[in-house]
Each structure stands twice: as structure tokens, then as C-alpha cells.
Amino acid sequence: MALKDDAPNQTLDTLGRVCPYPLLLTKKALEKLDGGQMLKVLCDAPASAEDSIPRYCEKNGFGFESVKLEDKGYWELFIKKA
């Protein structure tokens, strides 16, 4: 089942923020969540959405799924904390 099909425990809006802030805010939000909980991040910084956040998730063994909303110009990132 896709991560985006689950209801997130928290939604983090990082729209308008540039690197490294989306990653820093994402890390902070994930620290407060319990294992197995889901964070949805709204991000319009390509470097964060396509590079730093996915790399951070991979390094920590977190589930990660990205949905690019072309019409809105941002990504919805779904992160499941390990």
C-alpha cells in the first residue's frame, strides 16, 4: 500500500522556505513523532524535495514517498518514521 494512502499524523508546511530549512524543519517534526507515525511535508524547494529530504530518510531507514503536484508547483512528501 502506498504511504500517501495513509492519513498523516502531522502535516508540515515548508512552502516558501529554501534549503536547508525544509530539511531542518522535517527533522524537528520527525523527532517528535513516534515510530510508525506519518509526517506529510509540503515543500516547494526542489533541492530539498528531490535530494536532501529523501537522502535523510534513506539514511535513517524511514519510509519515503514523493508526490509532485505540477499544477500547484510543490511536492507532497510522505515520511513514515521507522
The answer to whether residue 26 scores a pLDDT higher than 80 is yes
User: What is the chain's length?
Assistant: 82
Whether the pLDDT of residue 1 is over 80: the answer is no
User: Among 82, 28, 60, which Cα is nearest to 41's?
Assistant: 28
Confidence (pLDDT) at 28 = 98
The whole-chain average pLDDT of the chain stands at: 96
Assess whether 19 carries a catalytic annotation: yes
Residues 39-44 have a mean pLDDT of 98
User: Where do the structural domains in the chain lie, given as residue ranges?
Assistant: 3-80
CATH superfamily label, 3-80: TusA-like domain (3.30.110.40)
Query: In terms of Cα–Cα distance, which of 65, 52, 49 is closest to 5?
Result: 65
The residue from 6, 15, 17, 19 that is catalytic is: 19
Per-residue pLDDT, averaged over 47-55, amounts to 98
The model carries a pTM of 0.95
Residue 31 has which C-alpha cell? 523527532
